[in-house]
Amino acid sequence: MSVSQERLRQVQQWLIKAQHDLQAARALANQTSPLLDVAIYHCQQAAEKAIKVSDFPRAKIGENAQHPGFSRAS
């Protein structure tokens, strides 16, 4: 596996984990007895993971690193 393929794989893994955090946050917030403090924690974790991905050099990973549910701000 080339370096750029490995970086793309890492980016994809982080974005999937961030998506899972957002799914957990929605589930926790939409319960009959919402657990908002825990939902907020998962939102914060998703944001951190998205920021971590933005630190990967774009020239190495290309546009294929996009994940449904996330968009890059210009």
State residue 69's pLDDT score: 52
Rounded Cα gap, residues 22 and 27, in angstroms:
9
- The pLDDT-based confidence of 60 (bands split at 50, 70, 90) is very low
Domain-located, residue 39: yes
Domain-located, residue 25: yes
State residue 58's pLDDT score: 59
What range defines the domain where residue 46 resides? 3-63
Contact 11, 3 (CB under 8 A): no
- The pLDDT-based confidence of 73 (bands split at 50, 70, 90) is very low
Closest C-alpha among 57, 53, 55, 59 to residue 19: 53
- 57 has pLDDT over 90: no
- 72 has pLDDT over 70: no
| Pairwise pLDDT comparison (67 vs 13), residue with the higher score | 13
Q: Please, what's the largest Cα pairwise distance for the chain?
A: 48
Number of independent structural domains in the chain: 1
